[in-house]
Amino acid sequence: MRRLLVLAPPWLWLLLFVAAPALILALIALAEPAEGVPPFLPPIAWRGTWPEWQGSGTSLATLTEDDWYLAAFLSSLRVAGLSAALCLLLAYPMALGIARARPSRRLPLLLLVLLPFWTGFLPRIGAWIGLLRDGGWVNGLLLRLGLVEAPVPLLYTEGALLLGMVHAYLPFAVLPLVAALLRLDPAVEEAAADLGATPFTVFRTVTLPLSLPGAAAGFLLVFIPAAGEFVIPELLGPPEARLVGRVLWEEFFRNRDWPLAAALALALLAALLLPIRLFQRLESR
Amino acid sequence: MRRLLILAALLIAPLFALPARAQPVLNVYNWTDYIDPGVIERFQQETGIRIRYDVYDSLETLEGKLSAGRSGYDLVVPSSEPSFARLVRAGALRPLDRALIPNWRNLDPALMARVAAVDPGNRHGVIYLWGTVGLGFQPDRMRALAPDAPLDSLDLLLRPENAARLARCGLAVMDSVTDVLPSVLHWLGRSPDSTDAADLRAAEAALLAIRPHLRAIPGSGALVDMLATGEICLALTYSGDVIQAAARARQAGRGVELTYAAPRGGAHLWFDMLAIPADAPNPEAAHAFIDFLLRPEVMAAITSHVRYPNAVPASRPLVAEAVRQDPNVYPAEAALAGAYLPSTLPAAAERARSRLWARFKAGR
């Protein structure tokens, strides 16, 4: 009974905020698009007391038949993977620095990592537009220093897109790494050093492997939101970056095809469950 | 104890006072930069109805909200094609009660008849402002860089040899497939409503041929800025955008002179409609506001401010001199005769067009 009480809140949470929305999404994905408010026919119609199925699998089938969507998925996964990898690369030295700092300094350092969140997400991304555009600060500086003759196209490039992603999601990679590194018993590293390992060997053979679960968590925490990201590619990315978030927006708003948009969202959800399963395997090992 | 009671009473009192003081509210959802703020002020003073004014800069945003239902807006301003037509068919708009809009008689019947094609009997909307899609440019730059190119034809932008010569001073096409593709198809001699694959391929090829010469494909708001600052010298966009940019450029006084030209041989015509969502919380106030907007002096103030023509002929003598005399604001009868109103396309055709547009923006 007690066990049930303890487990109830997380299950309720999952049911209300994960299972129920996914179910609604699935129902919309199985609906037929139609002109109306909302713009689809519900897949289940009530004829008197009996429910009648009038849905269709067309939208889900379209996703597999039309390689437009597969291409969007692949480029999203690529951009998300690159962003997460870059975040890890930057986050690792930061996390190591924080974990090895004097205990009294750790909290202020962690707060500094979180400080960008004090500013809203949109102004932070918007600021990059001002910095990167042709008449922006970066190009202004380059021109004044005489390094370039004409403004270098910086905004609306893949570089700008990755920059925005890393800037927005870096703290998500730092925090789990710090936690993992703090959990690490310093005695293990000392033992390795006592046995004659160089600092680099200690890091490579002891610190790094033991912090891998933290690194994997950090990678996922960046990868998952980055894969579905819409705002950053839209504001900073090149027009040819056709990521899932933008394709989804286009189906929903421009083509008003809610069932197809819902099918895309479901597919994204499914695609992201896979790395989470892999992570669980890694954790339990 | 008594003090505590008084304090509690004071704290609770506003909760009861609020409904009694509640002032009727009208939620308006309109395009950005699309009204004279003085008009809103005047309506509030005259009627005591408070206006909550909210703006959008793309039809997708407006339609997205209305399609979900319960948008909370009382008055929206969708463009006749494609949004207004689609919303009428979806049953998302409330039929207007003409008894509440006595100023309906001020509307130009010829213009209203054009919209009746998508809204039979003009049951769901009245024309707010209208315009054409055409070219905005700096005439002196055009003459200097491409002296032999015609200024009143899409040849100026869509012929690659012209685009190549003009690319130096900056070219742009607004980021809206529904507003650009019909003009390109019409220029190619095809139907603006074509869903034929060969026609769409031809239009895509025409757009891709000038793609390397385009400096930007901005939204309509950004495009006005780029024209006004002289960052671009030629753009395919809404008439009023160019006229607004021209006014801003004159104010800045940096020697940017802009003109608008509707394409000779027929321009893409559009109407922005005043309409009431089917589930509007306060349709009475919305009717009152529509009636107010159709007063000649109110419409004149709006046209003077935003530089788009309206559909109330009696307002014309009251419009500011400079705007009234501008042939770009009020096109000549002859120019209107050949103008066409694109029609709404089936969903599959829309998807084909938005993909064409995505490929065009990407440049491949």
Mean pLDDT by 10 residues, chain A (285 residues): 84 92 94 88 86 89 90 94 97 95 94 91 91 88 91 89 96 96 91 91 92 94 95 88 90 90 94 85 75
Same domain, B187 and B202: yes
Q: How many Å apart are CA A9 and CA A23, to the nearest integer?
A: 20
Number of helical H runs and strand E runs in chain A: 15, 4
**Does the beta-carbon distance from B67 to A255 stay under 8 Å?**
no
Same domain, B184 and B146: yes
**Does the beta-carbon distance from A242 to B64 stay under 8 Å?**
no
Nearest to B125 by CA among B273, B284, B311, B295: B273
Same domain, B143 and B232: yes
Rounded to the nearest 10 degrees, the angle between the axes of helix A121-132 and helix A137-144 is 30
| Residue of A161, A252, A253, A258 best to disrupt the B interface, most CBs of B under 10 A | A253
**Does the beta-carbon distance from B361 to A239 stay under 8 Å?**
yes
Unique residue bearing structure tokens 């992201």: A272
**Does the beta-carbon distance from A255 to B66 stay under 8 Å?**
no
Residue B3 lies in a domain: no
Q: What pLDDT does residue B4 have? A: 55
Nearest to B115 by CA among B337, B343, B316: B343
Same domain, B172 and B283: no
**Does the beta-carbon distance from B361 to A36 stay under 8 Å?**
no
Same domain, B48 and B103: yes
The answer, for B278 touching chain A at a CB cutoff of 8 Å, is yes
**Does the beta-carbon distance from A33 to B363 stay under 8 Å?**
no
Nearest to B29 by CA among B59, B69, B70, B62: B62
| Residue of B60, B88, B357 best to disrupt the A interface, most CBs of A under 10 A | B60
Q: What pLDDT does residue B255 have? A: 86
Beta carbons of A191 and A207 less than 8 angstroms apart: no
**Does the beta-carbon distance from A37 to B355 stay under 8 Å?**
no
**Does the beta-carbon distance from B350 to A242 stay under 8 Å?**
no
The answer, for B215 touching chain A at a CB cutoff of 8 Å, is no
Which residues, including other chains, have CB under 8 Å from residue B278's CB and lie 6 or more apart? A37, B91, B92, B93, B94
CATH number where B221 lies: 3.40.190.10
Residue-wise pLDDT tens digits, A218-264:
999 999 999 999 999 988 988 778 899 999 998 998 888 999 999 99
Q: How many Å apart are CA A254 and CA B351, to the nearest integer?
A: 8
Which residue among A37, A238, A240 sits closest to B67, beta carbon to beta carbon? A37
Residue B48 lies in a domain: yes
How far A250 CA sits from the closest chain B CA (Å)?
Answer: 8
Same domain, B211 and B234: yes
| Residue of A234, A256, A257, A264 best to disrupt the B interface, most CBs of B under 10 A | A256
Q: How many Å apart are CA B118 and CA B82, to the nearest integer?
A: 9
Same domain, B260 and B310: no
**Does the beta-carbon distance from B347 to A256 stay under 8 Å?**
yes
Residue B5 lies in a domain: no
For A34-53, the three-class secondary structure string (H helix, E strand, C coil) is: CCCCCCEECCEEEECCEEEE
Which residue among A39, A242, A250 sits closest to B90, beta carbon to beta carbon? A39
Number of C-beta neighbours around residue A16 at 10 A: 10
Q: What pLDDT does residue B17 have? A: 47
Angle formed at CA B13 by CA B10 and CA B14, multiple of 5 degrees: 110
Phi-psi region of B91 (alpha: psi -120 to 50; beta: other; left: phi over 0): left
Q: How many Å apart are CA B264 and CA B134, to the nearest integer?
A: 10
Number of C-beta neighbours around residue B8 at 10 A: 10
Nearest to B190 by CA among B334, B340, B363, B346: B340
Residue pairs between chains A and B whose CB atoms are closer than 8 Å: 55
**Does the beta-carbon distance from A257 to B354 stay under 8 Å?**
no
Same domain, B322 and B358: no
Same domain, B120 and B246: no
The answer, for B362 touching chain A at a CB cutoff of 8 Å, is yes
Query: For residue B73, what are its two tokens?
Result: 């807006």
**Does the beta-carbon distance from A250 to B350 stay under 8 Å?**
no
Name the burial class of residue B263, with classes exposed (0-12), middle (13-18) and buried (19+) by CB atoms within 10 angstroms of its CB: buried
Which residue among B61, B91, B347 sits closest to A36, beta carbon to beta carbon? B91
The answer, for B364 touching chain A at a CB cutoff of 8 Å, is yes
Q: What pLDDT does residue B40 have? A: 96
**Does the beta-carbon distance from B354 to A254 stay under 8 Å?**
yes
> What residues of chain A have any CB closer than 8 angstroms to a CB in chain B?
33, 35-39, 68, 238-240, 242, 250, 252-258
How far A45 CA sits from the closest chain B CA (Å)?
Answer: 19
Beta carbons of A211 and A177 less than 8 angstroms apart: yes
Cα–Cα separations (whole angstroms), residue A192 to A180, A200, A209, A256 = 19, 11, 14, 61
B228, B230, B233, B239: CA torsion to nearest 10: 0
**Does the beta-carbon distance from A254 to B60 stay under 8 Å?**
yes
ipTM score = 0.77
**Does the beta-carbon distance from B351 to A38 stay under 8 Å?**
no
Same domain, B249 and B147: yes
**Does the beta-carbon distance from A240 to B363 stay under 8 Å?**
yes
Query: For residue B351, what are its two tokens?
Result: 């998807």
How far B364 CA sits from the closest chain A CA (Å)?
Answer: 9
Beta carbons of A235 and A129 less than 8 angstroms apart: yes
Tell me which amino acid residue A283 is: E
How far A189 CA sits from the closest chain B CA (Å)?
Answer: 52
Q: How many Å apart are CA A241 and CA A74, to the nearest integer?
A: 11
Q: What pLDDT does residue B20 have? A: 46
Q: Which residues of B276-301 are buried (b: 16+ CB within 10 A; e: fewer)?
A: bbbbbebbebbbbbbbbbbbbebbbb
CA closest to A255 among chain B residues:
B351
Beta carbons of B274 and B79 less than 8 angstroms apart: no
Q: Residue B64: which domain range?
A: 24-125+275-331
Q: How many Å apart are CA A46 and CA A258, to the nearest integer?
A: 21
Q: What pLDDT does residue B326 have? A: 82
Given the DSSP bridges, would you call strands B171-173 and A44-47 parallel, antiparallel or unpaired? unpaired
**Does the beta-carbon distance from B358 to A242 stay under 8 Å?**
yes
The answer, for B66 touching chain A at a CB cutoff of 8 Å, is yes
Tens-digit pLDDT profile for chain B (364 aa)? 556 555 555 555 545 444 445 689 999 999 988 999 999 999 999 999 999 999 987 888 899 999 988 899 999 999 987 899 999 999 999 999 999 999 999 999 999 999 998 899 999 999 999 999 999 999 999 999 999 999 989 999 999 999 999 999 999 999 889 999 999 999 999 999 999 999 999 999 999 999 999 988 888 778 998 899 888 999 999 988 898 899 889 888 888 999 999 898 889 999 999 999 999 999 999 999 999 999 999 999 999 999 899 999 999 999 999 888 887 788 777 777 788 988 888 888 888 998 899 889 888 6
DSSP states of B153-213: STHHHHSHHHHHHHGGG-EEE-S-HHHHHHHHHHHTTS-TT---HHHHHHHHHHHHHHGGG
What are the structural domain ranges in chain A?
67-254
The number of domains in chain B is 2
The answer, for B201 touching chain A at a CB cutoff of 8 Å, is no
How far B64 CA sits from the closest chain A CA (Å)?
Answer: 6
Cβ under 8 Å to A: B residues 75-104? 86, 89-92
**Does the beta-carbon distance from A239 to B347 stay under 8 Å?**
no
Same domain, B164 and B227: yes
CA A144, chain centre distance (Å): 37
Superfamily of domain A67-254: MetI-like (1.10.3720.10)
Rounded to the nearest 10 degrees, the angle between the axes of helix A67-100 and helix A158-183 is 40
Same domain, B300 and B358: no
CA closest to A33 among chain B residues:
B347
Q: How many Å apart are CA B326 and CA B330, to the nearest integer?
A: 7
pTM greater than 0.90: no
Number of C-beta neighbours around residue B303 at 10 A: 25
Beta carbons of B104 and B294 less than 8 angstroms apart: yes
Omega of the bond leading into B82 within 30 degrees of 0 (cis): yes
Residue B30 lies in a domain: yes
Angle formed at CA A170 by CA A22 and CA A130, multiple of 5 degrees: 100
Residues of chain A neighbouring B355 (CB-CB closer than 8 A):
68
Report the SS3 class of residue B26: strand
Residue B36 lies in a domain: yes
Q: What pLDDT does residue A283 have? A: 74
Q: How many Å apart are CA A114 and CA A175, to the nearest integer?
A: 9
